[in-house]
Structure 1
Amino acid sequence: MLFSKKDKKEDLHRVLPFVDFHDDMAISADGTISVPFKAFLAFQEQYTEQHYIDWTHMLSSSMKELPSGSLLQQIDIYHPDQWHNPSVDSNELDFFKQKQFSYTESRPILHYESYIILSFPGFYKDYTPLSTFYSRDETKNFSKNPFTNLEKRLTIAKKDAAQFRQSVSTNLPLTPLTSDEFSRLVHRCLSLNFKDPEGTLYGGLVKNKEYVEVANRKAQVISLMESSAEPSYTVLDKFGNNGGVCAPLTEGLGRSLDFPHIISRVIRMIDSEAFLKNHFNAFAWSEATKLDERKLQNIRHIRSEMAEFEQTLLQRNEPIVYLSFLVIPFCITDLETLNNYSAQVLAAFAGIGMRGYLETIDTANLFCAALPGNGNQVYRRIPIPLLTAIAHMNSTTPFTGYKEGVLLANRYREPIYFNPFNTDLDNQNAFIFGPSGSGKSFFNGKMIKNRFEAGHIVIVIDSGGTYRHLFEALGGKYIELSAEKSLALNPFLFPSDESGRFLPDSSKIIFLVGLIGKMWKGDLNKNPMSEVKKFLLSQWISDYYRNLSEDVIPTLTGFYDYLQALVAANGKAILDLKKDQLFLFQEFFIVLHPFSHGIYKDHFNALSQDYLVDHRLVCFELEAIKGNSKLYPLVVQILFDFAFEMVAKHPDATKFIDIEEGWTNLDDASREHIEAFYRKGRKTKTSIRIITQDIGEIKSSKIASAIKNNAATFILLYNEKASSREEIGTFLGMNALDMQKYASLRRHNGPGGFREIFIKEMGQSHVWLLEPSLWEHAMFTSHPSERNQIAALAKKHGNIEDGIAEWVYHTKQKYYV
C-alpha cells in the first residue's frame, strides 16, 4: 500500500487500526490496549514558569511508574466552527441589539479539545514504514497471536491507567471516555469531520505525495525531527510589545496557529539502560571500523558526551524515552492554502529552536499512525530525556470565559462572555484604571450597554459628555447639572413611608452629617469636625425629622430654621454648649446661610424631586459644574447618596453604579459612608465601579484604600508607560505574572479596531479583548470629531438611529471595514 498508485481511494474502515472498543478501552489489531481520557487543562496565561516546571515534574513522576514499552499520547485538536448567538426572537431585539448580534454571528472560531491516551502494547512495538497497520499486507497474519493473555492484560491496563489518573489528578484532571465516545473521537480524527458528533465515517482516503485527502479534506503531516539544543520549559506567547506572557514550550504550535490542525504527541517509555548500552556498542563498533584519525576523534568525542549524558541521567534518576511529535494541518480549500499552513508550522518549530520536516511519501502512513490510541505505530521519533519530552506537551487551553454576561472576546478574537456580576467573588465591586486614550469610553460604554440590555439598573456619574449618544440610543435619562440653573436637589428628601413620615436610617444621618460638615468646614481633611460636633449634628438632624409635621417636606432650609429656633430658645443643653464652646453656633449659621437662604438655596432645597424610580438607565453629567469649587464636591456627595437610595429602593434588582467622576472629591469624612455603601451593596445585588485615568488621583485620594479593599475586581486598560504600570501594580499588589499580562495588552485604534483589557477577579486574572462593531463604535466614541459628526447627523435625521446608520455607511466607505 505504501507505494500504491497515486489517487487510489482506500475505504476509511480499512485503515482503522482497532478491532474492538471494549469496557472503556480500545484494542488494536496488533494487540495494543488503549485507555482514553478527556483532559482538562489550565487556562492560558495562568501559569508562571515555576508552575510549568512543577507540572512537568509531576507528570514525569507519574510516568516513571508506567511499565516499559507503554505510551502516553496527547491529542490536541483545533477544529473550525462558527460562533452563534443565543437563540432569540429577532423581533424582540431593539435596533442596536440586532446590529450587535449580526456583527458576531457566524464569526469563524477554532474549538479546542485535548485528550490523553495511555497505550499498552503486546508483542509488537517497533514499527517501520512498511510494517504499520496502514501499509501491511491484509493477507499477511501476525507471526504471534497479538491477543494472547488479553483478559489479563486488560485488567492490568485498567489498573495502571487508574493509578496514573489518580496520581496526576491535582494538576491534570482526566475524565475517562466511554467506548462509544472514544470510537467517535477516532472516527472524527480519521475523517477530519468534527462537526458530526456521531463521528460517521464516509468517503475514503486518497494518498498523494504532497498530502493525504480524507472525505474531501486535505491534510499534511509535519514531524519533529530535531529538538532544541537547549530546551526550556516555557516560552513567551508573543502577545503585545513586551515579549508576551509565560506559556508552554510548544505554545507556538497550538492555538497560536490560526487554522485547523491536530497535534499528536507520543512519549514511549523504554529501557534506558538497554538503549544506552546499544548505543555504546554501536559507537564501539563504529570506532573499530574507523581508520581515519579525525573520524576516530569524532567518535571518541561522541562517546565521551554520551558517558557524561548517562551520568547526568543517573544523578537525576531520569530515563530516556522516545518522543514523537506530529502536526497535521488540514483544510477543505486549495493546496496552496494548505502549503501555507504547513509553512507556518515549520516556522513555528524553527521559532523555538526545533526542526520540523514536511512529510511526503509517508504522509498517509503517519496520518493514520497519529490517530488517537494508535501511537504504538508511530515510527518518527527521537530519543530524549523524559523531562524534556514532557516539556513538549501542552498544559494549557485557550480561555473560554463565562456561560453568560457581556460579550467580549479572548486574545484570538473569538467571542466569549465576561460576567461583570460574578457572585462567586467576595463582592461585585470593581476598580478600573486606564490612562487617556486607553479605551475607557469603549469598555465602559460596552459594559453600560450590555448590562442595561440584560435588564439591570445602571447609574453613571460622569463628566465630558462621553455617554450622551449611548444614552440617547438606549433611551436612558441623561441629566446635565449646571450652576447656571437650579440643580433642583434636596439631600434631605427621600421617599416617605406608608404613613407619610420621613424616617432616615443611620446611613442617611451619617451622610447628612458629612454633607453639612463639608458646607461648614470645606475640606474636612484640612478642617476636620470633632466627634462631639458630629454627634451633636446627628442628634439634631434626627430630632428635626422626628418633629417634622406630616405635610412638611424636609429640606436643608427647614433644618437650618429648626436649629436656629432651638438655639434661640436657649435651653439648658444649648447654654451648656455655648458656655463650653463645644459648638460654634454663630459661625455655623453664617457659613450655612448661603445654602439655606442665600445664593445656593435653590440648588439644595427642591420641594419635589424626580427619584428616577421608573428609569433603569441614568447618567449625571457634571462637566458644567466641575469648575465651581463650592458646588462640585457637594453635588458629588449628594449623587453618591442618591445612588445609595437607588440601592435601597430596588433590593432585588441587579444594579451597577459607575462612578467615573467626582470620587476623588470624597475625603476622610466620607470613608464611613463609602464603606457603609459597599457593605450595603453586597447585600443588595449592587456592583460599584470606581473609574479613573490618573495614577496621581489614586495616590492622593484619602479613600483609595477603602475603595481598593472593597473591590474584588481590578480592571486595567492599555498603558504604554512602564513606570505608570509599575505604580498601579504596586498599589494593587499585582504579582509578576499579572504584570506580564498587563504589559502585553494590545490596542488598535479607529473603526474596526480592538482593545485588550486586563481583568483580575480576586486571585485569577485574564486578558479580554473588546472589538466593537461600527454601530457600537458610534455610541461609545469619545473622539471629538466623531462625536460632532454623529451629533450633526442625528440632528439632521431627527433621531440617533438614522444618524448613526449614516455615519456607519460613510465610515465603511472610507475604511472598507
Structure 2
Amino acid sequence: KKKNRHASIPNPSNQMAVEDIKQVQDVIARESKLLVYTHFNMVVGVPADTDLQKCTNHLENAFGRMGIHISKRAYNQLELFVSSFPGNCYSLNEEYDRFLTLSDAAVCLMYKERVQHSEETPIKIYYTDRQGVPVAIDITGKEGKNKLTDNSNFFCLGPSGSGKSFHMNSVVRQLHEQGTDVVMVDTGNSYEGLCEYFGGKYISYTEERPITMNPFRINREEMNVEKTGFLKNLVLLIWKGTQGTVTKTEDRLIEHVITEYYDAYFNGFEGFTPQQREDLRKSLVIDDRNSSEKRHESERERAVRIEGIIDEIEGRRKELKVEELSFNSFYEYSVQRIPDICEENRITGIDLSTYRYMMKDFYLGGNHEKTLNENMDSSLFDETFVVFEIDSIKDDPLLFPLVTLIIMDVFLQKMRIKKNRKVLVIEEAWKAIASPLMAEYIKFMYKTARKFWASVGVVTQEIQDIIGSEIVKEAIINNSDVVMLLDQSKFKERFDTIKTILGLTDVDCKKIFTINRLENKEGRSFFREVFIRRGTTSGVYGVEEPRECYMTYTTERAEKEALKLYKRELQCSHQEAIEAYCRDWNTSGIGKALPFAQKVNEAGCVLNLTTKITS
C-alpha cells in the first residue's frame, strides 16, 4: 500500500521511497528476513535550570551520525512515559507509535538488553559485568559446556598503568585456588605478594645464588627427540647468542654430538659394528676419489690405508668416556669430538675456537660455572605456586634468555609429571627468547602444552614488541586462542597494525575502545576493565577486587613497604598482616590506597586505629 501510494505521485522523493521499499522487499524475498513492528523511545531527565534544547540537539546529532533520524513528540508524552514502565508496552498506540522495519534493524539497539550470565564450566574465573554484577567465565575457552577454543594459551597486552599485573594476579589467584599449578617468570616483583600469600616458592636470581639447573642429567627414558631439541637450542644459544645465525651444518653437528654424548654414557663405545665400518669405508672411498690429491697406490694399498683411518677414528672414540652427565662433561666431550666429526665428514667452516670460548664461560672455573652444572631444587616439582624473579639479569644478553629457557624446561618437565592443570605465565621475559633461534622451540612448547592440560601465557606492555617481531606473530599469537587487552587508548593512533596482527573485527575494536570509558566506577573497589576474546567470542569484563586482594596484588612501592611494616611489627603471617592493615585502612576513612600507605610509612608503626584520621 505504502509503495503504491508513493508511486502514484511522480516526484523525485516519492521515487526514492519506492526504490527503498522495493529494496526491502527484495531482501525479504532473497534472505527470508522478518518484518516487525518496532518502537523505541528515550526519556531524558534534567534539572529544572538546565537547557533541555541542548540535550535534544546533542541526541539528534549523535543519532544522526549513525544514520538514525529521531522525532520529538509533544502531543502524547504522558502515554509514552507510562509505556516505558516495564511490562507496559501494550499501551502504545498501534496507529502512530510503531513503525515497520526488518528484524535486524529492530534489534540493533537492543544489544545491551541481554544480561551476561555465568558460564557452565568446571573452571570459574570471576569478573563483573559492566554494571558490577559478578559473572564467572571459562578463561581457557575449552573446558566449559560450550567449547570456544582449541587451545588455552593466552596473550595479554596492556600499557604501563592499565592494570595488567592487577588483572593477571586476579586470574592466577583464582586458577591456583581451583587446583592449578602456577609457574611465573617475572621481571618486576609483580607477583611477590600473591606468592607470599599462598606460601609458594619465590626465587630471585642473584650472583651469589643463581637459578641453576643441570639440563644434561636425564635418564635413558627421557632421551627423545624433544629433549635433544631442547639441549641443541641451549648449546646454540650459548654459542651464537639470541640473534645469531645458525647454519644447517652447525645445527646438525650439535645434534650429532649430543646424540653421541648420551650414547657414550648409556651404552659406552666398544667399537664400530660391521655395518658402521662398511658405511664409513664407503664414505671414505668416495671422499678419496673426489680428493684433488693424487696418490700412486694400488687398490690393496688404498684399502689398507682406509682401514687404518677407520681404526684411528675408532680408537679416538674409545678414548672418549662420559662418567657423569653435566655441562662440564658435555663441554669436555664436545670440544674433542667436534674436530673428529668435521674431519671424518670433510666439514669445513666450523669456528671451533669461538665455540670453545663461548661455552667455557659455563664450564668449570667460568663466571657462570654453577648455572648449568648444579641440580635445581627438586622440591620445585612439588610446589604448586612458583615465581622466578629475574629482573637483575634482564639486561644480560646471554644469561637472560638462557635462564628463561631453563625455567621453560622446568615447566615442560612439570607439565609431563603432574596430572592436574598447569599454567606458565611469562611477563616481559618472553622478549629474551623471541629470536629466530628460539622460534621453533617456542612453537613446540605452545603446541605441546595443549596435550598435557597446560596453558602458556605471555604478558607484555609495549606495542612495538608485537608490531616489530615476526617471531611473536608466528610463534606466540598464532598459537594463542585467548587474547586479553587492557586499556588501549594510548595506542589508538597505531591500533590498525595491532588489529591486523591479532585478527580483531570492527566490532571487537569498538568494544576495546569503550574500556574504562563508562561512568560505572562510583562507589566501587579498585576497578579496571579488560577485553577478552576466546576464539571468536569476545566481551569486556570488569576486574574488581576487595582491598585485601588489592594489597596482595599491588606493585606500588610505598604500599608494599607499608604492608611489610605491619607484618614485621606484628610478627604474623601475610594474611594476618593484610587483615590488620585493611582493618585500619577501613577505619581511617581514607579512600585511596596510596595516601593511607604514606600515613603508615610516616608513622613507622602499626596504627591500630579506632577512629577516622582527620587531616
Alignment deviations for residues 50-81 of structure 1 (CA, whole Å, 9 cap, x no partner): xxxxxxxxxxxxxxxxxxxxxxxxxxxxxxxx
**Hey, what's the Cα distance between the residues in 2 that align with 1:740 and 1:323?**
26
**Hey, what's the Cα distance between the residues in 2 that align with 1:692 and 1:719?**
13
What does residue range 769-784 of structure 1 map to in structure 2 within 5 Å?
A: 769-784=542-557
Question: What SS class does the counterpart of residue 386 from structure 1 fall into?
Answer: strand
* Between structures 1 and 2, the one with greater helix share: 2
Letter in 2 for 1:589: R
Question: Does residue 438 of structure 2 align to residue 670 of structure 1?
Answer: yes
Shift of 1:582: 4.8
Shift of 1:607: 4.1
Match of 2:257 among 540, 547, 554: 540
Match of 2:355 among 562, 566, 588: 588
Letter in 1 for 2:577: G
Letter in 2 for 1:795: R
What does residue range 24-103 of structure 1 map to in structure 2 within 5 Å?
A: none
In structure 2, the residue matched to 1:785 is 558
**Hey, what's the Cα distance between the residues in 2 that align with 1:814 and 1:349?**
40
**Hey, what's the Cα distance between the residues in 2 that align with 1:379 and 1:385?**
11
**Hey, what's the Cα distance between the residues in 2 that align with 1:625 and 1:638?**
14
In structure 2, the residue matched to 1:212 is none
In structure 2, the residue matched to 1:659 is 426
Match of 2:486 among 699, 717, 721: 717
Equivalent pair of 2:185/2:426 in contact (CA under 8 Å): yes
Equivalent pair of 1:469/1:779 in contact (CA under 8 Å): yes
In structure 2, the residue matched to 1:249 is none
What does residue range 273-284 of structure 1 map to in structure 2 within 5 Å?
A: none
In structure 1, the residue matched to 2:505 is 735
Shift of 1:691: 0.9
Shift of 1:355: 4.4
Letter in 2 for 1:778: M
Shift of 1:719: 2.2
Alignment deviations for residues 440-464 of structure 1 (CA, whole Å, 9 cap, x no partner): 1111001110000010111111111
In structure 1, the residue matched to 2:308 is none
1:305–1:541 Cα change, 3 Å: closer
1:786–1:357 Cα change, 3 Å: farther
Equivalent pair of 1:461/1:660 in contact (CA under 8 Å): yes
Letter in 2 for 1:541: I
Question: Does residue 193 of structure 2 align to residue 469 of structure 1?
Answer: yes
Match of 1:605 among 365, 373, 383: 373
**Hey, what's the Cα distance between the residues in 2 that align with 1:354 and 1:324?**
12
Shift of 1:565: 4.9
1:305–1:437 Cα change, 3 Å: same
1:615–1:309 Cα change, 3 Å: same
Question: What SS class does the counterpart of residue 533 from structure 2 fall into?
Answer: strand
**Hey, what's the Cα distance between the residues in 2 that align with 1:311 and 1:503?**
76
Equivalent pair of 2:3/2:21 in contact (CA under 8 Å): no
What does residue range 168-207 of structure 1 map to in structure 2 within 5 Å?
A: none
Taking every aligned residue pair, what percent have the same amino acid on both sides? 23
Shift of 1:613: 1.8
Shift of 1:775: 1.3
Question: What SS class does the counterpart of residue 668 from structure 1 fall into?
Answer: coil
Letter in 2 for 1:808: C
In structure 2, the residue matched to 1:35 is none
**Hey, what's the Cα distance between the residues in 2 that align with 1:406 and 1:315?**
50
Alignment deviations for residues 459-516 of structure 1 (CA, whole Å, 9 cap, x no partner): 111111111011111122111111233433222235x4xxxx4632212211111111
1:378–1:585 Cα change, 3 Å: closer
Equivalent pair of 1:751/1:774 in contact (CA under 8 Å): no
What does residue range 393-404 of structure 1 map to in structure 2 within 5 Å?
A: 393=107, 395-396=110-111, 397-404=114-121
Equivalent pair of 2:532/2:539 in contact (CA under 8 Å): yes
**Hey, what's the Cα distance between the residues in 2 that align with 1:407 and 1:441?**
16
Shift of 1:388: 7.7
Question: Does residue 188 of structure 2 align to residue 419 of structure 1?
Answer: no
1:811–1:750 Cα change, 3 Å: farther
Question: Does residue 334 of structure 2 align to residue 563 of structure 1?
Answer: yes
Gaps of 5+ in 1: 1-270, 281-301, 329-335, 337-342
Equivalent pair of 1:532/1:582 in contact (CA under 8 Å): no
Match of 1:623 among 387, 391, 394: 391
**Hey, what's the Cα distance between the residues in 1 that align with 2:503 and 2:336?**
53
Question: What SS class does the counterpart of residue 744 from structure 1 fall into?
Answer: coil
Alignment deviations for residues 526-568 of structure 1 (CA, whole Å, 9 cap, x no partner): x32221222121122122223326996521011112234546x
In structure 2, the residue matched to 1:38 is none
**Hey, what's the Cα distance between the residues in 2 that align with 1:367 and 1:662?**
55
Which one has more relative contact order, counting CA pairs under 8 Å at least 6 apart?
Answer: 2
Question: What SS class does the counterpart of residue 687 from structure 1 fall into?
Answer: strand
Alignment deviations for residues 621-670 of structure 1 (CA, whole Å, 9 cap, x no partner): 101222333322211111122222222222x3211111113211211111
1:306–1:519 Cα change, 3 Å: closer
Alignment deviations for residues 63-106 of structure 1 (CA, whole Å, 9 cap, x no partner): xxxxxxxxxxxxxxxxxxxxxxxxxxxxxxxxxxxxxxxxxxxx
Question: Does residue 183 of structure 2 align to residue 459 of structure 1?
Answer: yes
1:379–1:662 Cα change, 3 Å: closer
**Hey, what's the Cα distance between the residues in 2 that align with 1:361 and 1:672?**
69
**Hey, what's the Cα distance between the residues in 2 that align with 1:451 and 1:633?**
27
Gaps of 5+ in 2: 29-34, 46-51, 64-69, 268-321, 593-615
Match of 1:761 among 521, 529, 534: 534
Shift of 1:273: 8.8
Equivalent pair of 2:125/2:174 in contact (CA under 8 Å): yes
* Between structures 1 and 2, the one with greater strand share: 1
Equivalent pair of 1:408/1:416 in contact (CA under 8 Å): yes
Equivalent pair of 2:160/2:461 in contact (CA under 8 Å): yes
What does residue range 142-157 of structure 1 map to in structure 2 within 5 Å?
A: none
Equivalent pair of 1:322/1:381 in contact (CA under 8 Å): no
Equivalent pair of 1:520/1:592 in contact (CA under 8 Å): yes
Question: Does residue 459 of structure 2 align to residue 691 of structure 1?
Answer: yes
Query: Aligned-residue CA RMSD in angstroms?
Result: 4.0
Alignment deviations for residues 127-153 of structure 1 (CA, whole Å, 9 cap, x no partner): xxxxxxxxxxxxxxxxxxxxxxxxxxx
**Hey, what's the Cα distance between the residues in 1 that align with 2:395 and 2:200?**
26
**Hey, what's the Cα distance between the residues in 2 that align with 1:488 and 1:541?**
21
In structure 2, the residue matched to 1:43 is none
**Hey, what's the Cα distance between the residues in 1 that align with 2:18 and 2:335?**
95
Shift of 1:673: 1.1
Across the two proteins, how many residue pairs are aligned to each other?
A: 495
What does residue range 79-478 of structure 1 map to in structure 2 within 5 Å?
A: 311=18, 315=22, 353-355=70-72, 375=90, 379=93, 381-382=95-96, 385-387=99-101, 391-393=105-107, 395-396=110-111, 397-404=114-121, 405-423=124-142, 424=147, 425-478=149-202
1:610–1:517 Cα change, 3 Å: same
Match of 2:217 among 493, 516, 521: 493
Question: Does residue 236 of structure 2 align to residue 508 of structure 1?
Answer: no
1:412–1:610 Cα change, 3 Å: same
Shift of 1:581: 2.8
Letter in 1 for 2:484: I
Equivalent pair of 2:165/2:190 in contact (CA under 8 Å): yes
In structure 1, the residue matched to 2:302 is none
Shift of 1:314: 5.8
Equivalent pair of 1:796/1:803 in contact (CA under 8 Å): no
**Hey, what's the Cα distance between the residues in 1 that align with 2:389 and 2:245?**
29
Letter in 1 for 2:488: N
Question: What SS class does the counterpart of residue 399 from structure 1 fall into?
Answer: coil
Letter in 2 for 1:657: L
Mean alpha-carbon deviation: is it higher for 790-799 or for 807-816? Answer: 807-816
Shift of 1:429: 0.9
Equivalent pair of 2:162/2:486 in contact (CA under 8 Å): yes
Match of 1:703 among 458, 462, 471: 471
**Hey, what's the Cα distance between the residues in 2 that align with 1:518 and 1:469?**
33
